[in-house]
Amino acid sequence: MTKRMVKAAVAALLALPAAAQAAYQLNLPSPVTRVAGEIYDLHLIMMAIILVIFVGVFGVMFYSIYAHRKSVGHKAEHFHENTTVEIIWTVIPFIILIGMAWPATKTLLSLKDTTSPDLTIKVTGYQWKWGYDYLKGEGEGISFLSSLSTPQDQITGSASKGEHYLREVDNRLVVPVNRKVRLLLTANDVIHSWMIPEFGVKQDAIPGFVRDTWFKAEKEGTYRGQCVELCGKDHAFMPIVVDVVSAEKYSEWVAEQKKKIAAVAEDPNKKWDLEELRARGQGVYSTTCVACHQANGQGVKGAFPALDRSPLVNGPKGRHIEIVLNGKQGTAMAPFGKQLSDTDIAAVITYERNAWSNKTGDVIQPSEIRAARK
């Protein structure tokens, strides 16, 4: 009873200014999973306990500062030990701590229980975007990349910023409401971390290892987060957007995705011409390469090499294909062979070899990439 009253009082106190001005949010976001709700309550209860201790301890201190000053003629006493008091103020904090650790332990156990999920999705962190693969459950086989969709001119300030500035993506993760979703996380290059505060989920994605976490969203809606482990230059620009939808809508979405997969399944032996590849390659370049090598192909001096007039891009195509497929050890150049299809890689290489002042006239066919993969 008292516990609930304290919680309600603190919640009301924190909600007041938050309601007045949404930009000055004072507490954790409203939870939509059971675990996030428990964390939310745990934090409130701890804040209440801490506030009481704070008022008590500093009440004593400021009273002493007020009353025991030399300027008001207070004479110093000379006590400097009291075993009873010292034992009391060692034991009481200890008991309070046990009181805090108990509910925390219960929450932690449910937070780590990833058993029997309805849907399993693999999340892969890339520099600097997320990849999602639906592994098991309804939607199995769906797979896509999800990158920032905020235009560059909003970031540099030449256009006004949209409502979801830096927290919007081209392809959202879609999951059904009230289903246990297990995430398997890994990374392709460096450590990333996937979080949605409303779900109470934050899990590092570690290259070469698979970690898991789970959530079961109880409310439909769109939830936003972003990478929270420093992962290099564009760490601030790899958001996460999750749509939690009803079971029916989810089935519709799955059907739509399957249709798309069928539509883009291409004839692997199709011969592409220069213009087709360049157009497609420009698209791939602008989502995958532009962050480092820049739209004008000039790179960033000292950090990321220029592609315009680059000897590599204008040299033999075999070496160029190899670098894009396998990356370059010890640099930020990732192996894109795992992320992109043969056609996309062929297209982007063709584009790079025929863009800006590069004029090799080379046309790279997807079949050449397939051959180079072996």
Partner 1 sequence: MSAVIDSGHAHDHEHHPSGIMRWITTTNHKDIGTLYLWFSFTMFLVGGMLALGIRAELFQPGLQFWHPEFFNQLTTMHGLIMVFGAIMPAFVGFANWQVPMMIGAPDMAFARLNNWSFWLLPVAATLLVASFFVPGGATAAGWTIYAPLSTQMGPGMDLAIFALHIMGASSIMGSINIVTTILNMRAPGMTMMKMPLFVWTWLITAYLLIAVMPVLAGAITMLLTDRHFGTSFFNAAGGGDPVMFQHIFWFFGHPEVYIMILPGFGIISQVIPAFSRKPLFGYSSMVYATASIAILSFIVWAHHMFTVGMPVAGMLFFMYATVLIAVPTGVKVFNWLATMWRGSMTFETPMLFAVGFIFVFTMGGFTGLILAIAPVDIQLQDTYYVVAHFHYVLVAGSLFSLFAGFYFWVPKWSGRMYDEKLGKWHFWLSMIFFNVTFFPMHFLGLAGMPRRIPDYALQFAGFNEISSIGAFGFGLSQILFLWIILKVTVLGRGDKASARTWEGADTLEWTHLPSPAPYHSFHEQPVVK
Q: How far is the CB of 94 from partner 1 (least distance, A)?
A: 6
Amino acid (one-letter) located at 168: E
**Alpha-carbon dihedral sign for residues 337, 339, 345, 351:** negative
Q: How far is the CB of 121 from partner 1 (least distance, A)?
A: 16
The number of beta carbons lying within 10 Å of the beta carbon of residue 363 is: 20
Residue 7 vs 233, nearer CB to partner 1: 233
- Among residues 258, 331, 332, 330, the alpha carbon closest in space to that of 288 is found at 332
Residue 142 vs 324, nearer CB to partner 1: 324
Does residue 334 sit in helix, strand or coil?
Answer: coil
Beta-carbon contacts of 233 under 8 Å, excluding residues fewer than 6 positions away, are 127, 128, 291, 292, 303, 332
**Which residues pair with residue 241 across a beta bridge?**
224
Q: How far is the CB of 122 from partner 1 (least distance, A)?
A: 14
Q: Is 136 left (phi over 0), alpha (psi -120 to 50) or beta?
A: beta
Distance (Å, whole) CA 311 – CA 169:
34
Residue 199 vs 250, nearer CB to partner 1: 199
Q: Do residues 196 and 158 lie in contact, with contact meaning Cβ atoms separated by under 8 Å?
A: no
Q: How far is the CB of 120 from partner 1 (least distance, A)?
A: 16
Distance (Å, whole) CA 196 – CA 230:
16
Amino acid (one-letter) located at 36: A
Distance (Å, whole) CA 323 – CA 14:
53
Q: How far is the CB of 246 from partner 1 (least distance, A)?
A: 26
Q: How far is the CB of 360 from partner 1 (least distance, A)?
A: 28
C-alpha distances in Å from residue 47, one per residue of 1, 42, 197, 290: 18, 9, 19, 45
Q: How far is the CB of 111 from partner 1 (least distance, A)?
A: 6
Residue 29 vs 308, nearer CB to partner 1: 29
DSSP string, 8-40: HHHHHHHHHHHHH-TTS--SPPPP-SHHHHHHH
Residue 318 vs 330, nearer CB to partner 1: 330
Residue 227 vs 313, nearer CB to partner 1: 227
For residue 240, give the DSSP letter: E
Distance (Å, whole) CA 260 – CA 240:
22
Residue 129 vs 317, nearer CB to partner 1: 129
Residue 15 vs 279, nearer CB to partner 1: 15
Q: How far is the CB of 34 from partner 1 (least distance, A)?
A: 12
